[in-house]
Amino acid sequence: MDTRLDGGDFAVGANGLPGSVGGREELLQRALIRLTVPRGSFSYDPELGGRLHTLVLSGADLSARARELVEEALAAMPGVSVEQVACTPLGGGRARLAAELSTSFGPDVVSLELTGQEG
């Protein structure tokens, strides 16, 4: 059981208190945290996070490079394996990443928008 997050902050329920999350949703939330937090930026666990923020958002091998970084970020999560990663440039230093995962709860997809430099 963990605290539900929304946009990087605690998600508050109708009662004004932070909500909780468990099971499949908790696992996907933890994966999303590992993908979005820059590795080394969390002082309590310097190994938490990934390097997706370093990804140059162009090139024919964009999805392959993104997959390597997704696998690296999620390597410490037992019961999660990366099946496929698609990274689509949107222009203006943005890209859409979709990672198909195999988890203990079955197949799932984590999607996020990346910002960075275009090569």
CATH label of the domain that carries residue 30: 3.10.450.40
Specify the pLDDT at position 13.
87
By the 8 A CB rule, do 105 and 76 touch?
A: no
Number of domains in the chain: 1
Q: Work out the burial of residue 97: count CB atoms within 10 Å of its CB; fewer than 13 is exposed, 13-18 middle, 19 or more buried.
A: buried
> What digits encode the pLDDT tens for the residues 43-82?
999 999 999 999 999 999 999 999 999 999 999 999 999 9
Q: Which of 115, 70, 71 is nearest to 96 (CA)?
A: 115
Range of the domain at 26: 2-115
